Amino acid sequence: MESAALFSFVDSNLGEIVAIGIPRSARDKGNAAYILFTENVMSKVLTMRQAIAELVPDGSSVALGLQMEQMIPFAAGHEIIRQKKRDLRLIGPISDILFDQLIGAGCVKDVVAAWVGNVMMGSAYNFRHATEVENPGAPGETLRVFNMTNFTLALALQAGAMGVPFLPTRTAMGSDVPRGNHFFYQIISPFEPKETLYAIRALTPDVTIAHVQRADQHGNAHCWGNFGVLIEGVRAAKKVILCAEEIVPDEVIASDPNRTVVPGFMVSAVVECRYGAHPSPVQGYYKRDDAFFQQYHLETKTQADFNTWAQKWIHGVTDCAAYVRQLGGSRVEDLGVKAHAYAAPTDYGY
């Protein structure tokens, strides 16, 4: 019996995708089985609704906002809220108001992060209320937070990416960060017996959600600017949802392989989502919407206030396109790049 398709590769001699495991009799380009494989299976493009529904089940550990203050996948977070996902563990470094929104919406069980708040305004109200009074995601309980530093979070994700249980470090010694924190364990160096170190427990997110400038249909992505812990987060994750400002032809990505920081074989789904990182900035596409962060701070001081805000900006719009329409054309235009800073052309020839 002939086998089904298992994987594919690009045959440099044929100049085409070859489906390994598809019977040779089915590899004629006119054959329906071949067309189904190359056109449907090879493309990873989904809608945001499909990607979140299929790849973020309740109880997942989700890494997002990995690029620090830029390219935060707000559109993906809003879809998580719309679908009422529950009992999530959020993982991130300096985590901006997207974490606060997910907490206020009752989606979150616990948080592994270096900081949560509104970077522009200071503390964030949902997070404060959840940690000090009651977690909307677990009525009667407060939100559990595993306190990390940006560097130890990076080490935890790097350990996960390497497939090792921990990585050693000297960082955080003399601080209260490791106290009562199961991500830290004191060890003795096997090479310097008198040297005390911390072992940082590996993190392997069930899903990492990342936002990039552009990607092809297979998930190969170009990204530039501040990576933060994006690369570690993608490599450590069991599944990856890639949100892109635009999906471009394969040859655009292939033209600059050194800028391809996320390879397609690590990606589970690609979502084209213009302005999907708003109000955070995306270099080359739009700047940070400072006014939006200020408005969020003023309009979400209580749970009732947040519910009203969420009704307008999350539940009251069906998707990212509707969200952008609500922002208004003049506001979107004002956020556009006004002073371009292009890189020098690159010659890959010999």
pLDDT of residue 12: 38
Which residue, 277, 272, 255, 278, is CA-closest to 347?
Answer: 255
Q: How many CB atoms lie within 10 A of CB 23?
A: 15
Would you write out the chain's pLDDT as a tens digit for each of its 350 residues? Answer: 333 434 444 433 334 444 444 444 444 444 444 444 444 457 999 999 999 999 999 999 999 999 989 999 999 999 999 999 999 999 999 888 999 999 999 999 999 999 999 988 888 999 999 999 999 999 999 999 999 999 999 999 999 999 999 999 999 998 999 999 999 999 999 998 889 999 999 999 999 999 999 999 999 999 999 999 999 999 999 999 999 999 999 999 999 999 999 999 999 999 999 999 999 999 999 999 999 999 999 999 999 999 999 999 999 999 999 999 999 999 999 999 999 999 999 999 99
Can you say whether residue 140 is alpha, beta or left, with left for phi > 0 and alpha for psi between -120 and 50 degrees? left
CA-CA-CA-CA torsion sign (139, 144, 150, 151)? negative
Domain spanning 45-165+204-336: CATH superfamily:
Glutaconate Coenzyme A-transferase (3.40.1080.10)
**Going along 42-181, which residue ranges are E strands?**
61-64, 88-95, 108-116, 144-147, 166-169
CA 317 to chain centre: 21
Q: Tell me the pTM.
A: 0.87
Amino acid residing at 38:
T
Domain with CATH 3.40.1080.10 in the chain: 45-165+204-336
Which residue, 126, 131, 110, is CA-closest to 59?
Answer: 110
How far apart (Å, rounded) are the C-alpha atoms in residues 124 and 310? Answer: 15
Contact 81, 105 (CB under 8 A): yes
